[in-house]
Chains A and B, each alone.
Chain A
């Protein structure tokens, strides 16, 4: 036994080290380890204390409700605020107040509104891997089409980020419509042949299948050479079989091509200044949004443009003088008239009071331009058929005039007893 003692001693040492190790291990093991499995259960709750950074769209809507309503109506309704504006956690904490706002400065809470060109292209750059029905552009081609000459123009110069296509009907309420494909959704460039000439080509709905009359009319109009049906009638694919189509016609949408901008050149398409094109900004804001169609229907295609409300602004009575003088043909689209007198023989302007006959010479002496707005450059002559006021040598001259034109002519302004004053 004595000779084997050293072996036993060794084994005792080893076992005691192991046992002490196990005891120490159990003491040093974290508290909640092994409660519900081979892990530290406290960690499950600790991880929930991580701060929330990305904000939900509902949080933004609490304060920015007007932008939220605009956003929900238009094509970007699925794009959350954080995609363009960043997480905004400091902004929300600062403006909500409370103890969370204590360490945040106003500069940190600022959310920039400008969005870089590259940021829009993250989604809208044309790549083969993107689904063909998704709106995507090649920047050079898009700018060439619109004749944009400054190549780093930002998208937001034309497209408002909260309502990028200025829809009038809310996205999710628009008409459901069978899918109408564009050639470029499958082909890289528009093919020369029509699909009907290709054997085995899948069947495609064409607009003319249902809307033949409109398509035939459109093909005779100038827009036909530059745009197609779906350029203006935006199509939003909902799933594999259907989508929604927008009737469009919002003036702001037309302006995407037709507004004069410093970064666009002066070639096609014809461009206008807005809102001076219609004379007064109030016309667009308060009245019909489809105002372009009021006058330019003949350039697009036959359509049913019904007006239930007055397209003119409230102060049109005083404002129309300038406008009517220069744009008579525009008035004629709705009003049957040849010149101002067509309306004004019956309805005189407010300034022409009942004693205008006697009052007007005084007024005309100092405000000849005002008369000319309606009555033309030779305002006095257009009524009086004589030079007005009477020239200095009228004493001699009037004899000839009366002889030529008869006394009735003078009686227009002067009464019959007037001649007796001298004669």
Chain B
């Protein structure tokens, strides 16, 4: 017998997951893409992309910070959004997504921090007042800037993306 066509359960006449949910993978896709672009220079040494490498990292971080905003807009009760953190469910893929996101956030923040550390230290040393205070927090009060630290930073920036590039594909 031919299967019944064109029948939708009455509760499914209106689908819940709409454009807000779609935006989340779109944005995280852009995050992952920007990260890969910067990795092309730092890891694979593609000189052509040197001018955009650092900027790609920054744009990756910028998108990452706001990736959860469309999800928040989609939620029926956005005021309870932190319930995911208080009572996470380990069987749920969405909960897992939250953890992957936080993990990725930490990585990208580390990347950006390591890349810009030399410039931030400079800024700290040349500014005054509240700006100086903020820069102090950002560099965590450590102003060691020499050949060794720079090499270490560069090594980390190159090494970690190589290992962690695969995580960016989790977002895709």
Contacts and interface: CB of A to CB of B under 8 A. Distances in A.
A299 B164 CA distance: 97
Given A3-B146, A6-B117, A14-B106, A28 B141 contact: no
Interface stretch (B6-14, B61-69, B85-93): B85-93
A25 B84 CA distance: 10
A21 B85 contact: yes
A38 B87 contact: yes
A5 B141 CA distance: 10
A25 B98 CA distance: 15
Contacts of B152: 3-4, 7
Interface in A1-32: 2-7, 9-10, 13-14, 21, 25-26, 28-30
Given A10-B110, A29-B87, A5 B82 contact: no
Contacts of A38: 87, 89
Interface residues of A, number: 20
Interface in B82-121: 82, 85-87, 89, 106, 110, 113, 117
Contacts of B127: none
A contacts with B: majority SS:
helix
A355 B69 CA distance: 114
B73 to A, nearest CB: 23
Contacts of B18: none
A405 B142 CA distance: 157
Nearest to A14: B106
Contact of B144 (A2, A10, A21, A30): A2
A3 B144 contact: yes
A33 interface: yes
B148 interface: yes
Contact of A28 (B82, B110, B139, B142): B82
Given A4-B152, A13-B140, A25 B86 contact: yes
A25 B83 CA distance: 9
Contacts of A34: 87
B87 A10 contact: no
A6 B140 contact: yes
A9 to B, nearest CB: 4
A416 B128 CA distance: 159
Q: With a 10 A CB-CB cut-off, give which of B86, B89, B139, B146 has the most chain A CB atoms.
A: B86
Q: With a 10 A CB-CB cut-off, give which of B113, B117, B142 has the most chain A CB atoms.
A: B142
B149 interface: yes
A3 to B, nearest CB: 4
A38 B142 CA distance: 43
A4 B144 CA distance: 9
A30 B80 CA distance: 12
A7 B142 CA distance: 10
B43 interface: no
B21 interface: no
Contacts of B82: 28
B168 to A, nearest CB: 19
Contacts of B141: 9
Contact of A9 (B89, B142, B146): B142
29 contacts: A2-B144, A3-B144, A3-B148, A3-B149, A4-B152, A5-B144, A6-B117, A6-B139, A6-B140, A6-B142, A6-B144, A6-B149, A7-B152, A9-B140, A9-B141, A10-B113, A10-B140, A13-B140, A14-B106, A21-B85, A25-B85, A26-B86, A29-B86, A30-B86, A30-B87, A34-B87, A38-B87, A38-B89, A40-B87
Leading 6 A-B pairs by shortest Cβ distance: A9-B140, A3-B148, A6-B142, A25-B86, A29-B86, A3-B149
Given A3-B148, A6-B144, A9-B141, 18 more contacts: A3-B144, A3-B146, A3-B149, A6-B117, A6-B142, A6-B149, A7-B152, A7-B156, A10-B110, A10-B140, A13-B140, A21-B85, A25-B85, A25-B86, A26-B86, A29-B87, A30-B86, A40-B87
Interface of B: 82, 85-87, 89, 106, 110, 113, 117, 139-142, 144, 146, 148-149, 152, 156
